[in-house]
Amino acid sequence: MSHAPERRARRHHIGEFVASGDWSDYWTTAISRAGTGRILVRGYPVEEVIERLNHTEVSYLVLRGELPDARETAVFDLVLRCGVDQQFISAAVGAARFTASAFPDSPIPALASGLLASGSVTGSPQEPAQMLIEAVGWQLARPDACARVMQLWGERRGRVPGLGHPLHKSAEPRAVTLRRLAIALDGWREHGRMLDAIEAHLEATKGRKIPINLAGAIAAVLADLGFDPLVIGGLGALGYGMALLAHVSEEIRDGVPLRIIPDALGARYDGPEERHIAPRRNTA
């Protein structure tokens, strides 16, 4: 009876490869395999992937390694389409459009600029996901978990991620819709309920509502689907990619080449008044 060979533990330190002289597993991937006339994606022939799956199912398969069931497909698709756009409220849009105005030859540099501006301050779901997964993992009563979240994230970042918005003070419409539809699809589970509890705890503590924002809602739903924070952060940026492409193409076609920020639009100098450097004395 034949047995599949045991898989050797992966090596992660460059010194191990150098010392052994064995580089056979230096580059390894479990995502796909390509040979002459043959491509497997997570073990499935690429022809079947293209023919039988939709974009959401392919994305889930590539990221998670297994096919989603009907519920997972519906919930994941909901997350992927909820980013949409929000005019110029995102720093990612400004970065992308500035780059497009200076480099109109291709949309790719501008798209990269927009993705690079998708961080914790501009609404990445990565930190909210870390917070929620950590809080659920404590297995504490919700009031105790919420109090600990407030303390830890206050020390780490000075705020609780996933809540609050500069424009939407009482409710973030995209987050509200995502939460409502996720509940209907059984996609708002323990991480979503933890986020609800944190929102309520924060309101009781602050005396005013600080609503769940889109990053927080995305983090909760994707954490409930089993994604890790690193992938959730990437999905947050990619989910806004279509909006960025729309902004970039609009800027290239209809925008202003080489955009600037004039005084009339808020630029202001607040440094020293005009001053001068004394001439150097000739010591020769």
- Tens of pLDDT along 156-178? 988 899 998 767 777 889 999 99
Report if residue 199 sits inside a domain.
Answer: yes
Find the domain containing 60 and state its range: 30-68
pLDDT at position 255:
87
Report if residue 270 sits inside a domain.
Answer: no
Q: Does residue 62 sit in the same domain as residue 136? A: no
pLDDT at residue 7 tops 70: no
Q: Does residue 220 sit in the same domain as residue 130? A: yes
pLDDT at position 157:
87
Per DSSP, the residues of 22-34 read --TTSS--SSEEE
pLDDT at residue 127 tops 70: yes
Over pLDDT 90: what percentage of the chain? 71
Q: Does residue 226 sit in the same domain as residue 153? A: yes
What are 24-47's pLDDT values in tens digits? 888 889 999 999 999 999 999 999
How many domains does the chain fold into? 2
pLDDT band for position 6 (50/70/90)?
Answer: low
pLDDT band for position 5 (50/70/90)?
Answer: very low
Q: Does residue 134 sit in the same domain as residue 64? A: no
Name 163's bridge partners. 212
Question: Hey, CA dihedral for 236, 239, 241, 246, is it positive or negative?
Answer: negative
The CATH number given to whatever domain includes residue 214 is: 1.10.230.10
Cα separation, 74 vs 177, whole angstroms: 14
- Whether the CB-CB separation of 100 and 248 falls below 8 Å is answered with yes
pLDDT at residue 70 tops 80: yes
Q: Does residue 58 sit in the same domain as residue 134? A: no
Report if residue 279 sits inside a domain.
Answer: no
pLDDT at position 1:
46
What are 184-229's pLDDT values in tens digits? 999 999 999 999 999 999 999 988 999 999 999 999 999 999 999 9
Cα separation, 86 vs 175, whole angstroms: 13
Report if residue 253 sits inside a domain.
Answer: no
Q: Does residue 139 sit in the same domain as residue 227? A: yes
From 208, 234, 260, give the residue that closes a domain. Answer: 234
pTM: 0.87
Higher pLDDT, 10 or 242: 242
From 48, 68, 88, give the residue that closes a domain. Answer: 68
Over pLDDT 70: what percentage of the chain? 96
pLDDT at residue 180 tops 90: yes
Average pLDDT, the chain: 91
pLDDT at residue 239 tops 80: yes
Q: Does residue 138 sit in the same domain as residue 218? A: yes
Report if residue 275 sits inside a domain.
Answer: no
Q: What is the rounded average pLDDT of the residues 136-146?
A: 96
pLDDT at position 176:
95
Report if residue 246 sits inside a domain.
Answer: no
Cα separation, 68 vs 61, whole angstroms: 7
Report if residue 42 sits inside a domain.
Answer: yes
Report if residue 76 sits inside a domain.
Answer: no
pLDDT at position 36:
93
pLDDT at residue 8 tops 70: no
pLDDT at position 256:
87
C-alpha dihedral, 135 to 136 to 140 to 143, nearest 10° = 60
Q: Does residue 226 sit in the same domain as residue 146? A: yes
Q: Does residue 136 sit in the same domain as residue 222? A: yes
